[in-house]
Amino acid sequence: MFQPGLKGVIAAKSSISYINGAKGQLVYRGFAANEIALRFSFEEAAHLLWYGKLPNDKEREVMENKLKTKRELPIYIQRMIDLLPENIDMMGVIRTAVSALGNSRFSWKPTVDQAIELTAMIPTIIAYRQRKLAGQEPIEPNLYYNHVENYLYMLSGQIPSSIHVKGLETYMILTLEHGMNASTFSARVTASTESDLVSAITSAIGTMKGPLHGGAPSDVTKMLNDIEKKENAERWLKEKLERGERLMGFGHRVYKTKDPRAIALRTKALEIGKDDPWLSLALYVEETAIRLLEEYKPGRKLYTNVEFYAAALMRSLQIEDELFTPTFTAARVVGWSAHVIEQAKHNVLFRPESYYIGDLPKTR
């Protein structure tokens, strides 16, 4: 049976995550993802996805230490990043640097230790490149800081506040994993050939780079920048809807009710920026947009998705627009690697067929 884009086709069995779009559920290994994001650390959430259970105190300490000790970039990776032209975007840099990490340590079969190493290094790759582009000296990873705290520290050079750390940590936990999305499928297809983990993650990064997958938060920022102030919101949104254009940050291919990730992220964004004019504008636009969407597209059930509040949160944390998708990538590598490890346990090569619609040789 032909299904464009394989829509609705079940390609694998997985115990990593479950999505119920009708009920607005996202489950990580039996736990509600929004509860994990609000109650646990990045390290604990990663342990859950990789090992199938939340860690005890000793296991959490081991996970934290492993992530801390694998952050430093090899000198050859630093030099390679230095040689890349400035017009190569950050996702291209991450893809190139991660690909260059491939060596005998990452041979088949994939392991959690390999996944930890890649997860630890990607934030360092991002921060190293970002500071170099800004004409600033890169900042060495700090072994005293947790994973998310260290990422913010390497970007800014300043000790981040605990509320900012938890805000970004909430976002990164909520984006760790989301079922058989395009980039996860790409990683599993590559892994199914018994290629190494680095190759599978490189495939996923290349897929995430596409604007239909990883670029939505920056589009929300552009929308809010264009609206500029509350009194412009209704007119601007109506013009978009009347032209049949999409409102960025609203609606989701899977969720037909409120995105559970958006609910958790909204809670955290409000804690960070209660008096932030940008957040105040975002709240007003959200309220106005949902009312207008119901008016212009009745019955479509279009609600705020995670990208909308990701944009509001990132702006509050002063993270640049060009780092939205890379930061998403720094989180999603956990889910990708969990899927690759799962694929390897009962591997079957992905080999779909295509339906030929071209010409055939003419018979004489």
Q: Is the peptide bond before 132 cis (omega within 30 degrees of 0)?
A: no
Residue 310 pLDDT > 90? no
Query: Are 315 and 221 spatial neighbours (Cβ–Cβ below 8 Å)?
Result: yes
Residue 262 pLDDT > 90? no
Told to judge if 242 belongs to the known catalytic residues of this protein, a careful annotator would answer no
Q: How does residue 275 score in pLDDT terms, banded at 50, 70 and 90? A: low
- Written as six digits, the tokens of 313 are 């949160």
What pLDDT is recorded for position 10?
84
What pLDDT is recorded for position 255?
66
Mean pLDDT for the chain?
90
Q: Which residue among 43, 117, 149, 307 is the active-site one?
A: 307
Greatest alpha-carbon span in the chain: 79
Residue-wise pLDDT tens digits, 123-154: 999 999 999 999 999 999 999 999 999 999 99
What pLDDT is recorded for position 273?
67
DSSP classification of residue 25: E
Query: Are 150 and 142 spatial neighbours (Cβ–Cβ below 8 Å)?
Result: yes
Sheet with 25-28, side-by-side order of all strands: 17-20, 25-28, 31-32
| Three-class secondary structure of residue 358 per DSSP | coil
Told to judge if 286 belongs to the known catalytic residues of this protein, a careful annotator would answer no
Position of tokens 């409000």? 270
**DSSP H or E stretch at residue 31:** strand 31-32
Domains 14-212+322-345 and 216-316 share a fold: no
Q: Which residue among 252, 286, 339, 342 is the active-site one?
A: 252
Q: How large a percentage of the chain has pLDDT more than 90?
A: 62
Q: Which of 64-78, 170-184, 259-273 has the lowest mean pLDDT?
A: 259-273
Long-range pairs for 59-68: beta carbons < 8 A, 24 or more residues apart = 63/116, 64/146, 64/147, 66/113, 66/116, 66/120, 67/43, 67/116, 67/119, 67/120, 67/147, 68/120, 68/141, 68/143, 68/147, 68/150
Residue 215 pLDDT > 70? no
Residue-wise pLDDT tens digits, 314-347: 887 888 888 999 999 999 999 999 999 999 999 9
Q: How does residue 274 score in pLDDT terms, banded at 50, 70 and 90? A: low
Quote the CA–CA distance of 194 and 343 in Å, as a whole number: 10
The domain covering 216-316 belongs, at the CATH homologous superfamily level, to: Cytochrome P450-Terp, domain 2 (1.10.230.10)
314 vs 205 pLDDT, higher one: 205
Torsion sign across C-alpha atoms 149, 315, 325, 134:
negative
Residue 212 pLDDT > 80? no
Quote the CA–CA distance of 214 and 208 in Å, as a whole number: 5
**Residue-wise burial string across 197-230, b where 16 or more C-beta atoms lie within 10 A, e elsewhere:** bbbbbbbbbbbbbeeebbbbbbbbbebbeebeee
**Residue-wise burial string across 247-262, b where 16 or more C-beta atoms lie within 10 A, e elsewhere:** bbbbbbeebbeebbbb
Residue 180 pLDDT > 80? yes
Mean pLDDT of 185-190: 96
Residue 251 pLDDT > 90? no
What pLDDT is recorded for position 282?
85
DSSP classification of residue 28: E
**DSSP characters for 95-114?**
HHHHHHT-SGGGPSSP-HHH
Mean pLDDT of 17-41: 92
Entry pTM: 0.90
Mean pLDDT of 50-69: 97
Domain locations in the chain as residue ranges: 14-212+322-345, 216-316
What pLDDT is recorded for position 5?
77
Mean pLDDT of 11-24: 89
Mean pLDDT of 267-281: 76
Please name the fold of domain 14-212+322-345: Citrate Synthase; domain 1 (1.10.580)
Residue 28 pLDDT > 80? yes
Strands 31-32 vs 25-28: parallel, antiparallel or unpaired: antiparallel
- Helices (H), ranges, the chain: 33-39, 42-51, 57-69, 75-83, 90-100, 112-133, 147-156, 162-174, 182-191, 197-208, 211-214, 216-227, 230-242, 260-272, 277-296, 306-316, 324-345
Query: Are 316 and 269 spatial neighbours (Cβ–Cβ below 8 Å)?
Result: yes
> Assign residue 30 a region: left if phi > 0, alpha if psi is -120 to 50, beta otherwise?
left
What pLDDT is recorded for position 315?
80
